[in-house]
């Protein structure tokens, strides 16, 4: 049996940074949105006695999708052995949670061939990384805690984005260290006040105001990778109504709102692609785009 599932990248349309917690992670309030920029995962069932395998050309070392399978097995998941092949399109270490999206898609695929308990899958996702729970059911969501406590949110007003990848990679841990060095974390009362503004702004079909399209990690990403600042300027010059770094960067995202947003974003992507290879227009996607499909 073979199944396929798409793993959408995410952008943090708003990322509010709080202080470091006892577990070393930071308190966050963040608005995740899944985008039409996908890795494609293919799961092939193998004969009994085979070992699970993950193939992911372009990504060295232990794969988060492999860790997802191992965690399922450790909790007694009884599916047949599987080979998961990942066709990467999401920039690696780009702040778009590609690894987390692949791990979440692996969990969706595994559940499609042999069901498990939803609470177990949620616990596995949380154990794999702060960004994995939000990717289990792609769409728009708010993450609190370390970003791992996820609440679904209604889709926003029509909008489109341009994703500008960097040829550089930024390890997430380095960006958080730099944020600490720069003192970027908000005190608890400021974090709560801004979070309340975000919740209040999120009625169905809302346009996010400029004051909420912020990423508190952005100064840290620019400090470590000044090219990020140039990309932000270029995206704004290309007409983006709002622009910010995605997650811990270095990918930059421009946003256009309105019924003709995708046309305007596509034109901007074309104008940026010469100087920024890989710049491409994208739009929001919901969970329906990411559900496993039987191939044969
Ligand atoms: P996040 O925003 O969740 O921190 P990111 O988008 O910045 O993530 P990823 O692309 O998820 O970064 O990758 C971070 C690191 O994880 C990579 O450098 C790579 O070594 C490792 N990794 C493990 N599995 C994967 C995968 N399936 N895809 C990409 N990277 C992976």
Structural domains in the chain, CATH included, are: 2-153 (3.30.230.10), 159-282 (3.30.70.890)
Measured from the CA of 66, which atom of ligand 1 is nearest?
24
Residue among 39, 52, 131, 148 flagged as catalytic: 131
- pLDDT confidence of residue 134: 96
Nearest CA to ligand 1 atom 14: 93
Q: State the alpha helices, DSSP H only, in 114-243.
A: 118-128, 132-136, 172-182, 188-201, 218-224, 227-237
Sign for the CA dihedral angle at 172, 173, 178, 184 comes to: positive
Cα distance between residue 277 and residue 83, in whole Å: 32
Question: What confidence category does residue 94 fall into, taking pLDDT thresholds of 50, 70 and 90?
Answer: very high
14 confidence band (pLDDT: 50, 70, 90): very high
Distance CA 147, CA 126 (A): 10
Average pLDDT over residues 61-74: 97
Cα separation, 243 vs 13, in Å, equals 9
Measured in degrees and rounded to the nearest 5, phi and psi for residue 252 equal -115, 145
pLDDT in tens, 171-188: 999 999 999 999 999 998
Does 131 participate in catalysis according to the annotation?
A: yes
Q: Please report the pLDDT score of residue 188 as a whole number.
A: 87
SS3 (DSSP) at 95? coil
């Amino acid at each position: 049996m073979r199944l396929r599932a798409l793993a959408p990248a995410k952008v943090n349309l708003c990322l509010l940074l709080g202080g470091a917690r006892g577990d070393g992670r930071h308190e966050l309030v963040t608005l995740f949105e899944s985008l039409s920029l996908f890795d494609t995962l293919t799961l092939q069932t193998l004969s009994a006695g085979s070992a699970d395998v993950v193939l992911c050309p372009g990504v060295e070392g232990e794969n988060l999708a492999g860790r997802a399978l191992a965690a399922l097995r450790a909790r007694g998941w009884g599916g047949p052995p599987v080979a998961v092949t990942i066709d990467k399109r999401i920039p690696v270490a780009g702040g778009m949670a590609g690894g987390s999206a692949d791990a979440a898609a692996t969990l969706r695929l595994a559940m499609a061939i042999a069901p498990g308990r939803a609470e177990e899958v949620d616990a596995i996702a949380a154990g794999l990384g702060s960004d994995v729970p939000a990717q289990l059911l792609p769409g728009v969501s708010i993450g609190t805690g370390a970003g791992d406590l996820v609440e679904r949110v209604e889709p926003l007003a029509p909008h489109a984005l341009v994703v500008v990848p960097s040829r550089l990679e930024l390890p997430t841990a380095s960006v958080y260290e730099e944020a600490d060095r720069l003192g970027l974390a908000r005190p608890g009362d400021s974090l709560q006040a801004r979070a309340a503004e975000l919740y209040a702004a999120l009625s169905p079909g809302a346009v996010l105001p400029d004051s909420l399209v912020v990423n508190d990690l952005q100064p840290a990403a620019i400090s470590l990778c000044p090219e990020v600042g140039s990309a932000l300027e270029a995206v704004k010059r290309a007409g983006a109504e709002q622009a910010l770094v995605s997650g811990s960067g270095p990918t930059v995202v421009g946003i256009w709102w309105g019924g003709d947003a995708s046309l305007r974003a596509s034109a901007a992507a074309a104008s940026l692609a010469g100087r920024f290879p890989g710049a491409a227009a994208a739009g929001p996607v919901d969970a329906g785009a990411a559900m496993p499909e039987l191939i044969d």
